[in-house]
Structure 1
């Protein structure tokens, strides 16, 4: 296996260990994704504003920074997309910059204010879910875990043994 393929594979596996953003777990997700991007040395785009466009008189230092920032932004966006639940990903607008992505995720999670009817609907959905074979068992369990995480983030406790 080529060294670059190994690095990419281990990087992708580490990204899969980051909790998936489901619209209700912003704090946990953002902590984990920022840590992941830092470990991968991709957090330049989160730490600095967008660089100015290059011009003919740009210095080598400016060109080098611009290239590093563009790479960081491109790979960060891919990692951020990988760490979202597909149902959220579908409704998320196309974003050009990782910083905007993080901000929009925060706004999205804050706009989902918990209320009793929403909690009740989620609890009803969780308690009546049955595996019908229309998706993989992994997807079914992931969906149940995501619903439980939403309920927990709304302030209710859902014991893991309840999910089993």
Structure 2
């Protein structure tokens, strides 16, 4: 057996990486043709009456079992190797390790699933980062022996998108073609950019309408600004009107500084005149 050509990188078992270690060590033993000792029971110890085939079979199993235990023991990190009891077969050793660390695996599976189900993309977050986080959790679950198919992962990623992607969700649900993860990321990023551009255009349109409304409002009030720096044309017009009033002479009293409608004497005369004509109207 050429051990060097059959070598597979096996990460030392630390406990938290049990699922990864199990997959790697199983592949290693399979390539070495040692994996049968992990599933088959120990052969009966041959006796003087045993056939040559039975004796050869037991001898082969005994040799492979010893090598298999060496490979497994050698792949366990020194910090935990002392806590694993001695066994006589590789099958017993493998089952013992499985019982010891499977509880940790279940706990990690539960934590990853809890994170996966509670992971949602908010309205302001990056959709690319959201999908990559979800993908990372799915990969972690696979390493822990909990397989989630790519199609289900894409379904979950779409379902967890915020409400602004509702149009994309409808298109996804109505299309017969399946999307892979990379395609979903590209489509979502393109949709995110489109939404950002639409939002910017809408904001600019709102500013334009607001400016136009204020222009009309100020125009009616005589507050339109001059093209150059300085005061508004409305203010200037008011000042010119005041100057004209100061120079004009009253048509009633002949004095300057006011006009007829603002003249005090005119108002008094008008008041007396109305009082004189009122009795005559009453008689009629």
Interval of TM-score (by shorter of Structure 1 and Structure 2): 0.5 to 0.7
Deviation at 1:114, TM superposition (A): 4.3
Superposed counterparts of 1:77-88, under 5 Å: 77-88=69-80
Tell me, in whole angstroms, the C-alpha distance in 2 between the residues paired with 1:103 and 1:72.
17
Shift of 1:46: 1.4
For the structure 1 residues 43 and 114, does the alpha-carbon distance in structure 2 shift closer, same or farther, using more than 3 Å as the test?
Answer: closer
Give the TM-score normalised by structure 1: 0.59
Distance 1:54 1:65 in 2: 9
Query: What is the root-mean-square deviation of aligned Cα atoms in Å?
Result: 2.5
Q: What stretches of structure 1 of length at least 5 have no aligned partner?
A: 116-148, 154-164
Structure 2 residue corresponding to 1:14, chosen from 7, 14, 22: 7
Deviations 1:3-49 (A, max 9, x none): x8xx45x27x925x212111122222112111111111112311311
Partner SS, residue 58 of structure 2? helix
Local SS of the residue matching 2:15: coil
Number of equivalences:
110
Equivalent residue for 1:60? 52
- List runs of 5+ in structure 2 lacking aligned partners: 109-139, 145-284
| C-alpha separation in 1, matches of 2:107 and 2:38 | 29
1:96 matches 2:88: yes
1:135 counterpart residue number: none
Aligned counterparts of 2:92 and 2:32: Cα–Cα separation in 1: 20
TM-score by length of 2: 0.35
Greater RCO structure (CA 8 Å; 6+ sep): 1
In structure 1, what is the Cα distance between the partners aligned to 2:63 and 2:103?
31
